[in-house]
Chain A
Amino acid sequence: MLSFRPHTRMNEPPRQLRVDVADLAAAIERLAGDLSLAEEPSGFSVVLENDPDVREQRD
């Protein structure tokens, strides 16, 4: 059961809101096409915490 129903009139969101949501969904559809099975959200923390100090490599 949905806990949130902000739009009472046939529960239909206003036009601009539909456009905004559609734009965001289209962006994800476009960008996520080649995600591999191994890519998961926690990869973000791994990137930050495990960034090697490439300055040392360059030196």
Chain B
Amino acid sequence: MTDWTIATLGREIAARQVSPVEVTRECLERVARLDGKIRSFITVDAEGALATARELEAELSAGLSRGPFHGIPLAYKDLCHVRGLPTSCGTVTREYFTSEHECTAVCRLRDGGAVTLGKLNMTELALGPFGDNAHHGDVQNPWRPGHVAGGSSSGSAAAVAAGFVLGTLGSDTGGSIRLPAACCGVVGLKPTYGRVSRAGVMPLSWSLDHIGPLARTVADAALVLGMIAGHDPHDATSSRRGVPYYERLLDTPVDGLRVGLPENYFFDGLDGVMDAAVRAAARVLEGLGAEVVTTRVPDPRPVVDVSNVIARAESSAIHARIVRERPHELQPAVRARLEVGFHISAHDYLQALRLRARYARDFVAQVFAGLDALLAPVIPEPAPPLEAVKAGTVEEIVSRMGRFSRLTRPFNGLGLPALSVPCGFSGDGRPLAVQIVGRPFDEATVLRLGHAYERATDWGARRPALA
């Protein structure tokens, strides 16, 4: 099971070499055997998954195939509304979020033949980068138990790394797809703002929320993106731009692409091993023919300040009710972050939204006039121990959260596509990762660079040894 990718398994299923029921059963058995320690799932829908797999198998027997996702086991962060399953959003409340519409991204994958194994653990209300959760258990890093899986899509990354499913969906408001992908040694893509519908997904911050895939390979992430991208009448912010066949563009050579390595902000105070790994990744791309240049980018700190104002104001508006009526149910750091939003003035919120537009315009014009992509680290250090990130006062924990997500947050404020790809391991076996950032709606170039890098190295092919 751990050797399959969506692309390879899809081909085998289509050729009737592997049965959807057999694959689904194998995944469920693996979850039952190993997830008690990892805690990546909140809800496992074994009965529903097997029923769907049997239907899909019958379709194949009748000569019908829905395409590359026919019979592929997937699972979704527990903030996606899926009919028939509860959506806790990582809170203690079993059905915290309901929606008139099912999650559009999930519907598109399911219509394409994907089998839903269940709903995945996450940081409470998606507010935190470490993946700890007092209600559903801290998600353990499959590579190194006792260390963070990253958050907030902690279960989404851990389930892929552990080989429970072949792909998952996560959400990313400040790094919540890329941070856990980096910590768990899998691929995670935050698409451009508007590229993927957020309909049917619990909002955290309307202006900063993105939905995207986590998978074992860049090619698999491209396949998932191709399924979930595109306009959705249920999400007014979703773009009407056409969706390329991303997977068909992956093998276009990267020679001639200009890739920038920022000399300011992104490498400041970075862990030495991480620094070396990201610079080594740049050299690999150079070896493949890309032109890597050192560049100075517009200071991302104002974008982070502005994003913090927007995120705090919007999240407190969205989740006011639980803070007002059941504050005792929330983890202290989550409550503290939400409470700040109640005291942000309308004036500051609106100024922040106006400033964001300016920074996005300036950043895109200055950086992408001469470059096709930026290369940067994702996390400042390899996954830290869970006990260390949970220690101290609420203020210390919140401050630690901000430091851990400082390399991903700018691209939520700017709305740019950003991909996290494994790029090595620390001496004690914790994954390292590189972030590839592109111009608006140019996921194709970002994925192309990631795919070329991945094929030139073997980091993504390694699997954690699970007991």
Asked if A and B bind, the verdict is yes
- Give residues in A with beta carbon < 8 Å to B: 3-4, 6, 13, 16-18, 20-21, 24-25, 27-28, 31-32, 35, 39-49, 51, 54-55, 58
Return 11 A-B CB contacts under 8 Å, by A number.
A16-B336, A16-B395, A17-B343, A25-B344, A25-B345, A27-B302, A35-B355, A39-B358, A40-B357, A41-B353, A55-B372
CB distance from B419 to the nearest CB of A (A): 17
Query: Is B348 positioned at the interface, with any CB of A under 8 Å from its CB?
Result: yes
Q: Given A6-B324, A25-B348, is A41 in contact with B340 using a C-beta cutoff of 8 Å?
A: no
Q: How far is the CA of A25 from the CA of B356 in the complex (A)?
A: 15
Give residues 338-371 of B contacting A (CB, 8 Å). 339-340, 342-345, 348, 350-358, 360-361, 364, 368-370
CB distance from B350 to the nearest CB of A (A): 7
Q: How far is the CA of A47 from the CA of B355 in the complex (A)?
A: 13
Residue of A17, A31, A48 near B305 (CB, 8 A) is A31
Q: B306 contacts A28, CB within 8 Å?
A: yes
Q: B323 contacts A41, CB within 8 Å?
A: no
Q: Given A32-B351, A55-B372, is A45 in contact with B194 using a C-beta cutoff of 8 Å?
A: yes
CB distance from A44 to the nearest CB of B (A): 4
Q: A44 contacts B309, CB within 8 Å?
A: no
Q: B302 contacts A31, CB within 8 Å?
A: yes
CB distance from B192 to the nearest CB of A (A): 6
Contacts of B353 in A (CB 8 A): 41, 44
Chain B residue with Cβ nearest A50: B440
Chain A residue with Cβ nearest B351: A32
CB distance from A48 to the nearest CB of B (A): 4
Q: B360 contacts A28, CB within 8 Å?
A: no
Contacts of A31 in B (CB 8 A): 302, 305-306, 351, 355
Residue of A3, A17, A58 near B336 (CB, 8 A) is A17
Q: B395 contacts A24, CB within 8 Å?
A: no
Q: B305 contacts A24, CB within 8 Å?
A: yes
CB distance from A24 to the nearest CB of B (A): 5
Q: How far is the CA of A34 from the CA of B8 in the complex (A)?
A: 54
Query: 17 other contacts beyond A4-B342, A47-B357, with CB at 8 A cut-off?
Result: A6-B339, A13-B339, A13-B343, A16-B336, A27-B302, A27-B306, A27-B308, A28-B306, A28-B352, A35-B358, A41-B354, A44-B356, A48-B194, A48-B415, A49-B239, A51-B439, A51-B441
List the 6 closest pairs (A to B, CB-CB), nearest first: A43-B357, A41-B353, A27-B305, A44-B357, A32-B351, A48-B440
Q: Given A25-B348, A44-B360, is A32 in contact with B339 using a C-beta cutoff of 8 Å?
A: no
CB distance from B214 to the nearest CB of A (A): 23
CB distance from A13 to the nearest CB of B (A): 6
Q: A39 contacts B360, CB within 8 Å?
A: no
With most chain B CB atoms within 10 A of its CB, the pick from A24, A25, A27 is: A24
Residue of A6, A18, A32, A43 near B361 (CB, 8 A) is A43
Contacts of B358 in A (CB 8 A): 35, 39, 43
Contacts of B356 in A (CB 8 A): 41, 44
What 1/0 mask marks residues of chain B from 182 to 213 whose CB sits below 8 Å from any chain A CB?
A: 00000000001110000000000001000000
Residue of A24, A39, A40 near B348 (CB, 8 A) is A24
Q: Given A6-B327, A31-B355, is A54 in contact with B309 using a C-beta cutoff of 8 Å?
A: no
Contacts of B360 in A (CB 8 A): 43-44, 47-48
